[in-house]
Structure 1
């Protein structure tokens, strides 16, 4: 069986259970993977500050992909590459959000997180990474998606059926993984990517083995080579046992 050298794990809905915890079973099998020489990489839509605490609790000193590939970290606290979302695009996305008063919105910049409650006073002066919308009103979400789908320069995905996430065009977890492979001397065929949402699809398709969680959106399952257990069933541990460490 092919030997995989890099395991890329989404966090929310994948490694984390519904209480936003890493189960002891998942943590144990991640340790086994690391001991076997596999590089385990968090690959998340979260910003760095939100993700790094999870990574460090697992004792990992390996690369990280944050804000859907907008930032690539050679290891925690060591930034390799950052791709900025044009501030004029963010201003336009913010203006559109104001047309939908019931919709929550947020944006990551290198200076911090801004949202519906606290917005940047001078958005042109910020280096932006990602913008997002959230609502349980799928009608409104669909109208926003239809509007921004006609804009140039945007990479549009989601991390749940109730949100939209926007990065610069061409930036994804897949593009970040390709850069990490170049940096580390791996081939994408040696990568296993695991995830549950649309922001995982590009990486799942580009990797040697793409795995959808049992709780993944149906489009993600269709794109994957395999489907594992849910995030409540230690699906990540199942992937490591069945594919990463199986010889």
Structure 2
């Protein structure tokens, strides 16, 4: 076993290409990492149902981090920990989305809702995450400025055009720390790979923080190294050059 024991991989913009596919090269090198004894952990802003097919494609029976750390799974289908976002905060976030007339979505423990499909019985549901999307930068900035004044929220993004909101303290970094506690690893033994602001805390907290070539500039500045883009098998490059060489 080398220096690194856990490889935490974001999905969109990282392991997945722009067609939301795992390339043959990335799949091949993930398999090599697994065969070498490395624990490969999906770490994504996606909910469990949409992240699961990629874990299954890779044959992973290892921990998963979903909805930016709102859920931590011991292995697929085995929930270890879940942190909910208060319903009253969801109602405020929803009202703000309506006021600015932007696209929005929100995850519950059972489903996902959005601007085209919302629910009136907000209080009755168990919420995990809320998100806004708009390519109108001034509006996105105005929304961010307002919610930054609210208490009890953890703010990030998964693209330059969105804002993602979890309960305060929820992040991929805190989730990775819990996975390490579960598995008996140290954070110095973790390689975290990502491209967006919801990856930045994990990149900073890990033994090796890796930004994709297509990552947002702030993520690149936070990383120890920058790999190839998600269109050029950047994950395979990380495994070859760092995970299996360490």
Task: Compute the TM-score of the two structures, normalised by the length of structure 2.
Answer: 0.99
2:163 corresponding residue in structure 1:
164
Give the whole-Å Cα distance in 2 for the aligned partners of 1:100 and 1:2: 50
Give the aligned partner of residue 127 of structure 1: 126
Distance 1:19 1:113 in 2: 21
SS at match of 2:8: strand
Structure 1 position 18 matched with structure 2 position 27: no
Deviation track 1:23-57 (CA, whole Å, cap 9, x = no partner) reads 00000000000000000000000000000011101
**1:29 corresponding residue in structure 2:** 29
| Corresponding residue of 1:71 | 71
2:110 and 2:56 mapped to 1: Cα distance?
22
- The Cα RMSD (Å) is 0.9
1:232 and 2:231 are equivalent in the alignment: yes
Runs of 4+ in 1 over 6 A off after TM superposition: none
1:170-216 CA distances to partner (integer Å, 9 max, x unpaired)? 10000000000001100000000000000000000000000000000
Distance in 2 separating the partners of 1:2 and 1:74? 23
Q: For structure 1, list consecutive stretches of 5 or more residues without a partner in the other structure.
A: none
Note the C-alpha offset of 1:2: 5.8
- Count residues with an aligned counterpart: 246
Distance in 2 (CA, whole Å) between partners of 1:4 and 1:111 is: 35
Structure 2 match to 1:178: 177
Match of 1:95 in 2: 95
Residues 1:222 and 2:217 are matched in the alignment: no
Q: State the TM-score, normalizing by the size of structure 1.
A: 0.98
